[in-house]
Structure 1
Amino acid sequence: MRILSVGGTDFVQAWKNMGHHVLSMGKGAGHDVPLEHLIGPRELWEILSARDFRPELTVWVDRCRPLEVFGLERLPGVVVGYSIDQYCNPWHVPYSWAFDLFLVAQKDYLKLFWDPRAWRECRWFPLYCRLDMDRDPGMERDIPVSFVGTLNPPLNPDRGPFLRRFRQACPTIVQQGAYAPIFGRSRIVINQSVVGELNFRLFQAAACGAAVLTEDVENGLREAFVPGEEILVYPRNDASAATRIAQEALADPERLGEIALRGKRRVQRDHSATVRAREIIRLAEDLQASGAGSRRKNGMRVVREHLLKTYASLATDKEIPLPPEHRRFYAEVARDACLETFG
């Protein structure tokens, strides 16, 4: 299958290993087509034509950045989108109409995408680990508890105070940067999220062989893991409870090791990038057989209505840090969508 991958690259190597012909496009290193600027529909088609690449499957993978490539809804074959951070990117809801299938990383947000007019399918598609990067090095676990991540993220004012309270009673290595070397030496990784989402750290830490102590939240946590057997949980933002659970677990190293091992096996079996890549192919083949691309093209007027909302939101939302030239670009494509839709 010829696959155009736009945005995130975590599934690219898995698809190549399966024998698919993959062309990746996006900003940053590691892409076949590295982008230096925003790409409109005409330029997108020119790039594909120059490479004689007619995709049978196009997959947009969210990188928590505004749109960089426009016109995916016009491409042949099946078009799939994967929203990672829908909880802080409301424009993903109208943008989902550009796709035959839209995958949503946080289960409780699925209801936001429901629409009685919809022909496109939306489904829960949890995050994952990358087993080429997230693995147990088999080293001595000389770090009792660790946290690696942004310490004062602007969208998460609770993290700093929570970690300070937790560390007062439970000494913890807290740092930013490369997580795998620290997780690979940790007995427990404490996890804290923005709005109760299942974040990447949950899957990465488990894959690195640490026991994960994470918030007891919704968004499909109990379908992804079994608390008490594969992970440990604490009430959200309750540092006292998290401290007590961590200390009890550290005092019982045999049980803690069993939880870590079961958590690692669970992510290796069910929550790796390779598992997700295979599932996308399976879903795309079903969509291809059912003629999903034709339904999208026949409903293009409704698609354009929603894309108009998407582009207008990106052009005007002052909470999104964008350079003026990007806002002008979004305003221009919003105008074009308006003219195509309403004449």
Structure 2
Amino acid sequence: MNLLVVGGFFLAEALEMLGHRVINAAEFASPAADEVDLAVVLEQLPAADRPDLVLVVENLGPRRLPLNLENLKVPRTFYALDPHLNLHWHQKYASAFDLVFTTQQSSMSAFKAKGRPVHWLPWAVNLGVVFDHALPRTHEIAFVGRADPRLRRKRHCILEALKSRFPVRVWGDRAGNQVDQQEMGRIYSQARVVVNESIQGEVNLRVFEALAAGALLLTEDVGPNLLGLFTPGRHLITYGPQDLLEKAAYYLSHEEERLAIAAKGRERVLARHHTLARARQFLEYLGEGGWSRQAPDHLQLGQTLLHLSFRGLYPVQPGLERTGFHLRKALEEHPGCAAAYLALGQAALMAHDPGGALAAYDQALALAPGDFHAHLLRGHLLRHQGCLRGAAAALRQGLKHAAQAPYQLRRAARALLPGGMDTAAFFTGLGGIYEAQGLTLEPGYPPAPEPRFFAYAVEYYLHALKLDPLYVPALKALGLLLERHGLPCEAALHFERWAQMVPENPEARRLLGRVQLQGYQPREGLKNLLMAQILEPRMDLMESLRGLPLAPGTLQTLLPQITPEELWTSQALPC
């Protein structure tokens, strides 16, 4: 079989070992081109290389969304490598394909909901590159990867927590400390324990690499994505904020158990989770059939290109041109599609055509007069044009149609019109409206840089803090939203700023302590909960601790370390 591949495909070598031809489409593209044109590639391919299948692989860095994909006569497949960060556009983009593969089991339902057949195809390790070198295991705990607290705050907190008690070696966290895959394999082969962090509940490639090198893997508990791959306690050890340090200490001091689990984990990878085995699995799925050619959804493709272009993940000029093409196609097929007009309005704004944007918004609202989001976008546009009366009217209409938001919340935002449209209070209120409407945030989605395009509550809260970095209602609302979405380390940044502004506020201390305990900062979290109780003696500390991730052993260890003098004199908070 001949496979034409767009993007980096980690199974390419294994498929060629199995007798298949893998053709890299980028080799036939012009170096100056913004994108691979599959029609041009097909013209250049010799007859013997005509593809039986086209595979587009999503990868980090600049996105590759090839041209003329929808016109191909051969089957089209999509492989979503990082759906835990990109599912918001993956599921739209999947409408251009006949079959979808995903590395994460938890994302399958989203692809199925879009009407595309999907298979779970997890990561796998190339055993010719990463393997057990049989070296002395001189590193107690090792980690290879980014550890910048600005980009990977939870990972940074995990590593700092481990460093507080154990020798931890980190590679790849700064310039001059980078390693390639071969060297990484050697590092893991010298580690007794390799620690792994999950960004958003995913099973990443590091899981398979660490096990292949024979180390004991200490990996975050990610629930369903791990099921069917490995058994915790048998092939690897899972942890959470409640037991990270206890488990690390236990397996570093129980050599026989550590070696037995590491050996079973390595055996499982050698049997099931290397690239050759995964390539066979890929071919089996292709051979199962049950999928057929699908008509592309031009609305979904247009929205995908618009979002990626605006968020800086795709070149703007070709992105807008392709956005317009697909949205016009969508309107040819469905002339009454309000969503297409709304997206055309946003594209027009990106092209510096406010008149065209306003006309498109008016078309969208003529078709869907109850769309609260369209009214608010129209209001933001009129505000930027200086039409304050018209902007206030449009914003009032948006608030009126935000049916899921409580009346009191809508009334408070409406009371700030028109004079308060540029205040932190107004944008915080709109954040609450969007949150009530269920539009909170998308993991991995870069926030919109300016308010005419806001689509989620988190963006409104961030803009409120841009207007007034010390506005407590925005700090609190944003922190609570991030905590609810399983991002306690990010939430802690906002609660910390609040507590620094008002150190004697018990609620700020309590919320900060709570997310610090969830975010692998047990000492800081416990300290802030104790301070909250001092500030508000009626608060039940044990009730606050109930349900939070703090093991009894950790509590017994930390409590004696936090002295009354430290609590009474503390005015500044730890970073």
Question: Per the shorter chain, which TM-score range?
Answer: 0.7 to 0.9
Aligned partner (choices 194, 197, 222) of residue 192 of structure 1? 197
Shift in alpha-carbon separation, 1:34–1:13, aligned structure 2, 3 A: farther
| Distance 1:141-1:64 versus aligned 2 partners, 3 A rule | same
| CA–CA distance in structure 2, aligned partners of residues 36 and 268 of structure 1 | 42
Range moving further from structure 2, 71-80 or 132-141: 71-80
Matches within 5 A, 1:15-54: 15-26=15-26, 37-39=33-35, 43-52=37-46, 53-54=49-50
Question: Where do 1:277-288 residues align within 5 Å?
Answer: 277-287=279-289
| 3-state secondary structure, aligned to 2:25 | strand
- Residue 128 of structure 2 corresponds to 132
Match of 1:233, SS state, is: strand
The TM-score with structure 1 as length reference comes to 0.86
Confirm or deny that 1:150 pairs with 2:152: no
Partners of 1:91 and 1:9 in 2: how far apart?
20
Q: Establish whether residue 175 from structure 1 lines up as the match of residue 171 from structure 2.
A: yes
Partners of 1:273 and 1:98 in 2: how far apart? 27
Match of 1:305 in 2: 299
- Higher helix proportion: 2
* Distance verdict in 2 for CA 1:180–1:33, change over 3 Å: farther
The 3-state SS of whatever aligns with 1:39 is coil
Deviation sequence 1:170-200 (CA, Å, 0-9, x none): 1111121322221111111011121221111
Secondary structure of residue in 2 paired with 1:224: coil
Q: Which residue of 2 aligns with 1:329?
A: 318
Question: 1:276–1:72: structure 2 CA closer, same or farther, 3 Å change rule?
Answer: farther
Once residues 25 and 254 of structure 1 are traced to their aligned partners in structure 2, the CA distance between those partners, rounded to angstroms, is: 49
1:8/1:137 CA distance change after superposition, 3 Å: same
Instruction: Tell me if 1:221 matches 2:226.
Output: yes
How many Å separate the matches in 1 of 2:2 and 2:149?
38
- Residues in 2 aligned to 1:219 and 1:284: alpha-carbon distance in whole angstroms: 24
Task: Tell me how far 1:244 sits from its aligned partner.
Answer: 1.7
Aligned counterparts, 1:1-343, within 5 A = 1-26=1-26, 37-39=33-35, 43-52=37-46, 53-65=49-61, 66-89=63-86, 90-115=88-113, 118=115, 120-152=116-148, 154-176=150-172, 177-178=178-179, 179-235=184-240, 237-238=241-242, 241-287=243-289, 290=290, 292-293=292-293, 296=294, 299-300=295-296, 303-317=297-311, 320=312, 326-343=315-332
Compute the displacement of 1:306 (Å). Answer: 1.6
Unaligned runs of 5+ in 2: 173-177, 333-575
Higher strand fraction: Structure 1 or Structure 2?
1
Distance 1:254 1:68, change over 3 A: same
CA distance in 1, matches of 2:306, 2:83: 17
Which moved further from structure 2: 85-94 or 72-81?
72-81
Distance 1:20 1:61, change over 3 A: same
Distance 1:153 1:73 in 2: 41
Shift of 1:92: 0.8
Compared CA separation, residues 304 and 129, structure 1 to 2 (3 A): same
Relative to structure 1, is the Cα distance of residues 229 and 81 closer, same or farther in structure 2, using a 3 angstrom cutoff?
same
Q: Distance in 1 between matches of 2:288 and 2:21?
A: 19
Q: How many residues are aligned here?
A: 319
Looking at structure 2, the residues matched to 36 and 282 of structure 1 have their Cα atoms a distance apart, in angstroms, of 38
Partner-residue secondary structure (3-state), 2:163? helix
Q: CA RMSD in A?
A: 2.1
Query: Comparing both chains, which one has the higher relative contact order based on Cα–Cα distances under 8 Å and sequence gaps of 6 or more?
Result: 1
Quick one: structure 1 residues 321 and 20, their matched pair in 2 at CA, closer, same or farther if it must change by over 3 Å? closer
